[in-house]
Amino acid sequence: MKIADFEISGKSRTFIIAELSANHNGDKQIAIDTIRAAKKAGADAIKLQTYTPDTITIDCDNEYFQIQEGLWEGKTLYELYGEAYTPWEWHEELFQVAKEEGLICFSSPFDKSAVDFLEELNTPAYKIASFEIQDIPLIEYAASKGKPIIMSTGIAKKDDIKLAIDSCRNVGNEEIILLKCTSSYPAPIELANLKTMVDMKERFSVEVGLSDHTLGNTVPIVATSLGARIIEKHFILDKSIGGPDADFSLDLKEFSSMVKAVREVEKALGEVTYVLSEKVENNKKFARSLFAVKDIKKGEVITEENVRSIRPGYGMHPKHYDGIKGKRVATDIVKGEPISQMHLNQ
């Protein structure tokens, strides 16, 4: 499958997404500067979130709508989303800035009106956030647009994931990517459970990746080594600007370091091959082979005392050792001379 012109497959490089989220801190210029910085950091894509406080919740301060713990304790949901949302009137310009920078831009819709709005912007994909994976009508509607659907699984059990996937397939969309995610902010590394990502690929026959809220690079690096086709990480221009997501976002230096590490992992993984590189082939001269370790006169018998398997590798292969022991040599051989077939056949 492709997201814009980026191929998502086992043969492609990992698709690295910088999540803007609330890291514009209500300032459009910061949003623009963050997109440009994401390009410098090595991201392939920038992802927005498309909602308003009224499309995602209601303005109510009873106990159900109050956040009781964590980074956002003391706020109501409406207050949090009012602080965090990306104004819709910014979207077109942000998409354009991303295009100018050579970044793929897409978004997470949080209701059908957001899907309709993003269709007008020709978004190349849809991301379903962890807490929306139970919103089956939203998933079906987004999937019906025929574009790749990326779904985070942060709060999903096995049956939730299957239902979400079936909902995409029921409307004819097979372009599905699941992201292993831990919906904790920041997420403890011991809850990453990346083996689940591998299982999801096998169990649901889809591409997989990681939406990461841990601190640092370790989890993205390991996920890449386990076959993640997407790495998504929150990105912030400068943590000093603050905001709801600042504590678990990577800045330019940190994100660049993560990208570098992921690309190095990809190089290290390489491909299945038993062909030696020219450099390694040349270094075979340092391998073991059969050498005379004492002077041997013509007619003398090869023994363990006068011929050994030692480095370097200019003599006969050690596999011939047992076969030549006990044979008489056809020429004089001086100590330090590699044993060859000519010493036996004359």
Encoded tokens for 338: 């590699």
Q: How far is CA 289 from CA 27, 139, 338, in A?
A: 70, 64, 8
Amino acid at 9: S
Cβ atoms 256, 263 nearer than 8 A: no
Q: Are 263 and 294 part of one and the same domain?
A: no
Token pair, residue 121, equals: 């912007």
Averaged pLDDT, 247-263: 95
pLDDT at residue 176, as a whole number: 98
Measured in degrees and rounded to the nearest 5, phi and psi for residue 207 equal -75, 155
Task: Tell me how far apart the alpha carbons of residues 118 and 135 are, in angstroms, rounded to a whole number.
Answer: 18
Task: Give pLDDT, residue 346.
Answer: 57
Q: Is 329 found in the same domain as 243?
A: no
Residue 84, pLDDT > 90, answer no
Q: What percent of the chain has pLDDT over 70?
A: 99
Instruction: Specify whether 248 is located in the same domain as 297.
Output: no
Number of structural domains in the chain:
2
CA dihedral sign, ordered 183, 186, 191, 197: positive
CATH number of the domain enclosing 217: 3.20.20.70
Flag whether pLDDT at 144 surpasses 80.
yes
Examine the pLDDT at 12 and tell me if it is beyond 90.
no
Residue 152, SS3 per DSSP? strand
| pLDDT band at residue 159 under the 50/70/90 scheme | very high
Contact criterion met (CB below 8 Å) for 301 and 326: yes
For residues 261 and 297, state if they share a domain. Answer: no
Domain that holds residue 215: 2-269
Asked if 159 and 296 sit in the same domain, the reply is: no
pLDDT bracket for residue 185 (50, 70, 90): confident
Is a pLDDT exceeding 70 seen at residue 157? yes
288 and 172 both lie in a single domain: no
What letter would DSSP give residue 147?
Answer: S
Reading the block at residue 194, the tokens are 């990346």
Coil, strand or helix at 181: strand
Say if residue 134 is in the same domain as residue 32: yes
- The proportion of the chain whose per-residue pLDDT surpasses 90, expressed as a percent, equals 84
pLDDT above 60: residue 166: yes
Q: Are residues 42 and 119 in the same domain?
A: yes
- Phi and psi at 338, nearest 5°, equal -70, 140
Mean pLDDT, all residues of the chain = 95
Convert the pLDDT of each residue in 186-239 to its tens digit. 889 999 999 999 999 999 999 999 999 999 899 999 999 999 999 999 999 999
Distance CA 145, CA 305 (A): 78
CB 322 within 8 Å of CB 307: no
Q: Quick one: 223 and 308 in the same domain?
A: no
**CA separation (Å) from 138 to 131, 143, 161, 250, 346?**
12, 8, 14, 29, 84
Give the distance from CA 234 to its chain's centroid. Answer: 14
Task: Find, among 130, 134, 243, the residue nearest to 187 by Cα.
Answer: 130
Last residue within a domain, chosen from 208, 243, 269? 269
Q: Please provide the DSSP assignment of 130-141 as one string.
A: GGGTT-HHHHHH
The tokens of 179 are what? Answer: 């992201």
Q: 268 pLDDT exceeds 90?
A: yes
Domain boundary among 251, 269, 287: 269
> What CATH number has the domain bearing residue 290?
3.90.1210.10
Tell me, yes or no, whether 312 and 192 share the same domain: no
Mean per-residue pLDDT, 301-313: 96
What percent helix, strand, coil does the chain show, rounded to 5? 40, 20, 40
269, 304, 333: which is the final residue of a domain?
Answer: 269
Q: What are phi and psi of 332, to 5 degrees?
A: -65, 145
Over the range 197-227, which residues count as b (16 or more CB within 10 Å of their CB) and which as e? beebbeebebbbbbbbbbbebebbbbbbeeb
Banded model confidence at residue 257, pLDDT cuts 50, 70, 90: very high
pLDDT at site 69: 78
Are residues 293 and 165 part of one domain? Answer: no
- At 345 the pLDDT is 76
Written as six digits, the tokens of 235 are 């990105």
The type of residue at 117 is: F
CA 34 to chain centre: 21
Tokens 């499958």 belong to which residue? 1
Cβ neighbours around 298 below 10 Å, total: 12
Looking at the fold, whether 207 and 299 belong to one and the same domain comes out as: no
Dump pLDDT digits (tens) for 333-345. 999 999 999 999 7
Of 20, 22, 4, 23, the residue nearest 12 (C-alpha): 4
For residues 22-45, give the mean pLDDT: 97
